[in-house]
Amino acid sequence: MTTNFIPAQRVASMQSSSTLAVLQKAENLRRAGYEVYDLGAGEPDFNTPNNIKLAAHKAIDENFTRYTPAAGTVEIKRAIIDYIAANTGANYNPQQVVVSAGGKQTIFNAIVTLINPGDDVLIPAPYWVTFPEIVTFAGANSVIIDTESNGFQLTAEMVEAHLTPKSRLLILNSPSNPSGRVVDPKEFERIAEVVVKNNLWLLSDECYYQFTYQPHKPFSAASLRDELRARTLVSGSLSKTYAMTGWRLGYALGPQDWIAEMVKVQSHSTSNPASISQKAAIEALSGSQESLKEMLYEYRRRRDYLIPALNQIEGIECVEPEGAFYAFPNVKKVLDSNSKIKSSADLADYLLEEAHIALTAGSAFGTEGYLRISYATSMEILQRAIDKMTEAIVKLVKG
Ligand SMILES: Cc1ncc(COP(=O)(O)O)c(C=O)c1O
């Protein structure tokens, strides 16, 4: 039935999430009875740890089921402040914290409260798909900084080279989804210096902060010196860190005035994040961190299997990710060596149809010639997927 519904312009120009599109295609295959190797989801395969679940049960039993302050309870703000202080040494006060329904809401609120139509927002590519879409929603322009020539490492010089008179915000995501790159602390500081010198603001999306593999060290913008921190918003999430994607719990710490505007928007849209999730998050942040260590160990073990295995496949070259749980292999030689499949999107489709492997094309993240493979899945599935992928690519290249 046609309804003649015409969406608002700022929404019409947004694209649907391409990572969710992969999940949908994989689901269709599954429903048709096929086994699908899902390397597409940016979601831990672990269950939420028991101590966290128990805290949620207790919250329900104690009827902690009502509205809370829109920005989150005093207790959860305290837990976040203490967690950040323990990890970075930084001090924040409760007016500098807002708790939201996931990191996505935090980032949405951060962008729409800062950015005016016509502003320029600097985004290094490859980027998390949602960043430019929120910028579009805000009526602003994404200025993409291509980092491929430097092995996906952003530098202060690259930021400087992309500044325009309308630049207002730089979005950093380290460790990066999808490249797995971690910005070196010294470079991070130089980048923040460019931001402050040019009166920009910095949004540091740190949802993979804890997933940084030795010898690389997690670095949070919260550790920047005060004059740099004054123009920086740190965005965090419990989704990946504590395998809590469905609980929807994220937070931001930053300049009090920016936070106040984010709270205003949130109070008129979703109000507080779920009261029960807040109680669970307090336990996650301040209780035992054993499960986090176990998950990090397991991700590293999978990465250490996956990267050499990918490099064994003819035409695929993959550098070792330093953080997060994604590999981002270069597949340009595969694309060049056959006459049928010419783009990363076609290759992703081919692998889904031919080998039932769900993964995401690099073009979805603004960088053509790559694939994103999530290793937040069991070792067994990874191994079987690699076998299938090897067969499918040999067939493509030889056929
Ligand atoms: C880079 C990045 N930022 C933020 C998020 C938001 O996650 P959530 O809204 O579950 O906290 C994600 C999730 O995939 C992500 O990959």
Ligand 1 atom nearest the C-alpha of 107 is 4
Q: How far is the CA of 8 from the centre of ligand 1 (A)?
A: 25
Whole-number Å distance between alpha carbons of 152 and 146: 8
One digit per residue, pLDDT tens: the chain, 399 residues?
A: 778 899 999 899 888 776 667 778 888 999 999 999 999 888 999 999 999 999 999 999 999 999 999 999 999 999 999 999 999 999 999 999 999 999 999 999 999 999 999 999 999 999 999 999 999 999 999 999 999 999 999 999 999 999 999 999 999 999 999 999 999 999 999 999 999 999 999 999 999 999 999 999 889 999 999 999 999 999 999 999 999 999 999 999 999 999 999 999 999 999 999 999 999 999 999 999 999 999 999 999 999 999 999 999 999 999 999 999 999 999 999 999 988 999 999 999 999 999 999 999 999 999 999 999 999 999 999 999 999 999 999 999 887
Residues 6+ apart with CB under 8 A from 138: 10, 111, 112, 115, 116, 117, 119
Q: Whose CA is nearest to atom 14 of ligand 1?
A: 42
Specify the pLDDT at position 195.
98
Which domains does the chain carry?
A: 9-47+291-398 (3.90.1150.10), 50-286 (3.40.640.10)
pLDDT of residue 24: 81
Choose the residue to mutate in 98, 134, 177, 249 for probing ligand 1, maximizing ligand atoms within 8 Å of C-beta: 177
The pLDDT assigned to 18 comes to: 65
The span from the CA of 364 to the CA of 344, in Å, is 9
Q: What's the CA gap between 143 and 167, in Å, rounded?
A: 9
Classify residue 280 by burial, with Cβ atoms within 10 Å: 0-12, 13-18, 19+: buried
According to DSSP, the β-strands at 37-38 and 120-125 are: unpaired
Residue with tokens 């979005």: 171
* Nearest atom within ligand 1 for CA of residue 245: 10
Instruction: Tell me the CA–centroid distance for residue 304 and ligand 1, in Å.
Output: 24
Q: Report CA(216)–ligand 1 centroid distance (Å).
A: 21
**Cα–Cα distance between 144 and 71 in angstroms, integer?**
32
The answer for residues whose C-beta is within 8 angstroms of residue 215's C-beta and 6 or more apart is: none
From 240, 251, 326, mutation site for ligand 1 pocket: most ligand atoms within 8 A of C-beta:
240
SS3 372: strand
Give the pLDDT confidence score for residue 397 in this predicted structure. Answer: 87
What Cα–Cα distance (Å) separates residue 188 from each residue in 40, 60, 203, 232, 317? 29, 42, 12, 12, 27
Distance CA 213, CA 102 (A): 24
The pLDDT score that the predictor gives to residue 16 is 77
Count CB atoms within 10 A of the CB of residue 50.
10
Q: Are 101 and 270 in contact (CB under 8 A)?
A: yes
For ligand 1, residues with CB inside 6 Å are 42, 102-104, 128, 173, 177, 205, 207, 237, 239, 245, 250
126 preceded by a cis bond (ω within 30 of 0): yes
Q: Which residues are within 8 A (CB) of 279 and not within 5 positions of it... i.e. 6 or more apart?
A: 55, 56, 58, 59, 64
Give nearest CA residue, ligand 1 atom 13.
42
Nearest alpha carbon, ligand 1 atom 7: 103
Instruction: Judge whether 10 and 139 are in contact, CB under 8 Å.
Output: yes
